[in-house]
Structure 1
């Protein structure tokens, strides 16, 4: 069993597409019109055959309260692995990305949290190699 697709709710698919491609560096995998919305997925340029991220429209009535509760508690909706959180933090700051948590050493990993401008908090993580 493998993870092939996961999703994140976004307020505006086109704005999310711009953020996830121009800021985070993902590539479009599918952009299939479906009425007012699209089946819109992105993938990592480092793993183009890997899992896809569906930029899911947030129109369902349960989405607003769910995302508001996560944001109020500072809980990221999704997590992306990076090699160096501090370097990504600096790169993304230079592109105007806002962070709610700067790079923080939490023991086995370094994390940071950013605002994707589409209604979500996103955590970046770099796991440390095991010691011992």
Structure 2
């Protein structure tokens, strides 16, 4: 069986992204390596036990492919990644209280409630909660 082990998100500043994804969103650091020349290899994941094998790579977003891709997604309002939560309204209020800027509050979107926020490092991120 093939499983997702790691996926990446391009960010405009890996160190700032690491601080946001761990300090604000609550992810845990899985890998944090300095590759030299100021290049960091950083992965984060859900807190212990939630999804132990899945990692999110905070990928440097400059370059001829990454920067136009990231910018195009952002400018068209498309999230680069989707995270699920158990209680979207509570998470929305918690994140707003921490200063996170949402493009829209939780609302019906097909089979889920969804909200979208700015991750401060060049991306829009969607939160979803399946409807019961």
- 1:84-99 correspondence runs (5 A): 84-99=87-102
Q: Distance in 2 between matches of 1:121 and 1:87?
A: 19
The TM-score with structure 2 as length reference comes to 0.93
The TM-score with structure 1 as length reference comes to 0.93
Deviation at 1:2, TM superposition (A): 0.4
Contact 1:44 1:50 in 2 (8 A): no
Q: Distance in 1 between matches of 2:94 and 2:74?
A: 24
- 1:1-132 correspondence runs (5 A): 1-35=2-36, 36-45=38-47, 46-47=49-50, 49-129=52-132
Deviation at 1:40, TM superposition (A): 0.3
The 3-state SS of whatever aligns with 2:69 is helix
Q: Give me the CA root mean square deviation.
A: 1.1
Out of 3-12 and 43-52, give the one that drifted further: 43-52
Q: Distance in 1 between matches of 2:30 and 2:116?
A: 25
Contact 2:61 2:70 in 1 (8 A): no
- CA displacement, residues 67-105 of structure 1 (integer Å, 9 cap, x when unaligned): 121112110000001011111100000000000111111
Deviation at 1:63, TM superposition (A): 1.4
Deviation at 1:48, TM superposition (A): 5.1
